[in-house]
Amino acid sequence: LAQLQVGDVRTVNGGPFIAIHAHDNQHHLKNEASWRLVPLHQVVLAAGFIEYVSAVRQSGSSRLFPALKADRFDKLSFGFSKWFGRYMDHCGLTDPSTDFHCFRATFKDLCRCARVPEDVHDALTGRTAEGRQVSRSYGNRQYPEAPLVDAVSAFIVPDVDFSLPAAAR
């Protein structure tokens, strides 16, 4: 996500999405399955993400998160990853097996709880159908948007208050 460009936030069939791709030299993906469209959750929209994107666009920046600085390997996520690790330590989450990548596992668990079909949450997380039914690899490269939107709409994180503090409004 650190490499996202302002133009990667798109409207597709009337809804807001993030496009994760490697169509140019500014974007890099681990594998072909990583290419995907991810609908934005209502909580992200309510937090003002679209307004943020507009402000970044108006500033003239092409990068969605212009404050991120590349490391010596030209990776934009390195600094954020280090900051997040320190933040988790500050919150008392010091188990070495708990890191930023735990979000993906939690997301998969919550999708299962919401009864989101496995192929849909695989499409949202950029997983392949490798080793699964051959028929899952048939069809278009891009997963249809409607089931993705339905899945993201059904996704609920229990017992987490996502409201913005008064100072951030």
Determine the Cα–Cα distance for residues 115 and 84; give it in Å rounded to an integer. Answer: 30
Beta strands in 27-119 (DSSP E): 36-39
pLDDT in tens, the chain (169 residues): 888 889 999 998 889 999 886 555 655 555 555 667 889 998 899 889 999 999 999 999 999 999 998 888 888 888 888 888 888 888 888 887 777 778 888 888 888 888 999 988 888 877 765 545 443 444 445 688 888 899 888 877 777 777 666 555 4
Whole-number pLDDT of residue 59: 96
Name the nearest CA neighbour of 121 among 104, 100, 102, 139: 104
Phi and psi at residue 87, to the nearest 5°: -65, -45
In what order do the strands lie in the sheet containing 9-12? Answer: 9-12, 15-20, 36-39
Whole-number pLDDT of residue 137: 46
